[in-house]
Amino acid sequence: MTREIDSALCDPLLHPQSRRARWARIVAVGLMLAILAAQSTSCRDPEIDSGIDGTVTIGPIEPVSRPGEDNSSPYQAQIVVKRAADGKVVTSFQTNADGTFHVAVLPGDYVLEPKQGNPFPTASVQSVTVVRGQFTSVRVDYDSGIR
């Protein structure tokens, strides 16, 4: 009887640690294959050579405006880009600290929805048409609410 127990413990196919090690190898190989598949899929996507760029400003920044003087400043904002046809979100982004942005999207019609304050600052939704091989420039102007 001792001989049967000893042989079961020595058999690599029956030993519990061997089964765990085998499953660990299977899981590791599966994860590696999943990572490789994800990377190869992204490599096959065509390079997007079109999109939307622009600047975001907020104003007025002073309660008194003087003719000929700019009463706005760059503004860092969150913007959502949706397809115009079905409203599906394509991407969202935060502008740089200087209010500039550059986002790649495929050619098509889009709607830019700037994040709104409660009640200020506010900015209008804008429609944008992106043409293949070009970046369409837009300016998003936030109203600060200063009067």
pLDDT given at position 42: 36
- Contact between 51 and 76 (Cβ < 8 Å): no
* CB-based contacts of 5, cutoff 8 Å, min separation 6: none
Q: Which two tokens stand for residue 71?
A: 């009463």
Tokens 């994860």, residue located: 31
Question: Per-residue pLDDT for 48 more than 50?
Answer: yes
- Contact between 77 and 143 (Cβ < 8 Å): no
pTM of the model: 0.67
Q: For residue range 60-83, what is the model confidence (pLDDT) as tens digits? A: 999 998 899 999 999 999 999 999
Collapse the DSSP code of 49 into the 3-class scheme (helix H, G, I; strand E, B; otherwise coil) and give the result.
coil
